Homo-oligomer: A and B are copies of this chain.
């Protein structure tokens, strides 16, 4: 494990798509999905095999920092950077990179979201090690997951030519980043076999990312540089509060990676998933689609194929309802057809409209 390897863990999210389990105050990364540990706990556990905990930085909203600290307190606590307001993954990851670069100009930094699923941690470690090798050559490295079906909820990466000069590592130039496709397009991507899922997992030299940021997003680079300079001084808070509100809201993909010609991709297959909604959650946990899956609690399922129950201690009985998601919490119950999983935010919107803020 290298002293010069760092991790930035962006931990954001609004908590609407997995309502009522997720709430504004308790977004996905704070939830036990698939359980029993929470996603951010699993993430830090997984990254601990690759990086000293003291070299990890979680970037999150101020109101989530205390519960993150609480959830991670059974280990050495990573550093927690709080954003006064969310500004997208560009400023969030960029801030972590800029601060680390000031402390250690030799730093190599991985960025891994706090709410992704990895089923095969050994393969994940191999992929990160490979990505580090490629990053050492000066590339901005993304990790691309081998797609197993035409998912429409993910972005894709079109793979270009192989990068030469690497031993026991396969890495490729990125030909193009693709937005979330429709089903026809996604099916074509799978058939053409030269597309990978964009996992938004990155590894790079801090200096290389900051160079590209200075070129492509000079205002942001300047702002982050100023904050980073003052971070480990008494001026941290005043500088942060003066500068952060004016940084532009941009993702690292749109702002830098899509416009850089130093981007590489390392293909990997470690059972990756980014659960976007209850339907995706069901796909993740179910063994076969002809069974009802009990996630927790006592369930009786009678003529209820394809349904998912996320229980809360009470018996849940399903009778003659197929492909539904039942999410039971102490103060709210969701009964949703799986095909409507993306619309759960409409329920949250309705709660806003009614002013039922305690359930949001």
Contacts and interface: CB of A to CB of B under 8 A. Distances in A.
Interface of A: 20, 298, 300, 302-303, 314-321, 324, 326, 328-337, 339-340, 343-344, 346-347, 350-351, 356, 359
Contact of A326 (B320, B335, B356): B335
A82 B346 CA distance: 53
A259 to B, nearest CB: 39
Contacts of A302: 340, 343, 346-347, 350
B351 A300 contact: yes
A107 to B, nearest CB: 46
22 contacts: A20-B315, A300-B351, A302-B350, A314-B331, A314-B332, A315-B359, A316-B332, A316-B333, A317-B336, A317-B347, A318-B336, A319-B334, A319-B336, A319-B337, A319-B343, A319-B346, A320-B339, A321-B321, A321-B337, A324-B335, A328-B333, A335-B335
Nearest to A316: B333
A343 B320 contact: yes
A330 B315 CA distance: 10
Tell which of A319, A328, A331, A347 has the most Cβ of chain B within 10 Å. Answer: A319
Nearest to A327: B317
Contact of A333 (B303, B314, B344, B356): B314
A319 to B, nearest CB: 4
A294 to B, nearest CB: 13
Contacts of A347: 300, 302, 317, 319
Contacts of A359: 315
A208 to B, nearest CB: 45
B333 A317 contact: yes
Contacts of A328: 333
A340 to B, nearest CB: 3
Tell which of A315, A318, A331, A347 has the most Cβ of chain B within 10 Å. Answer: A315
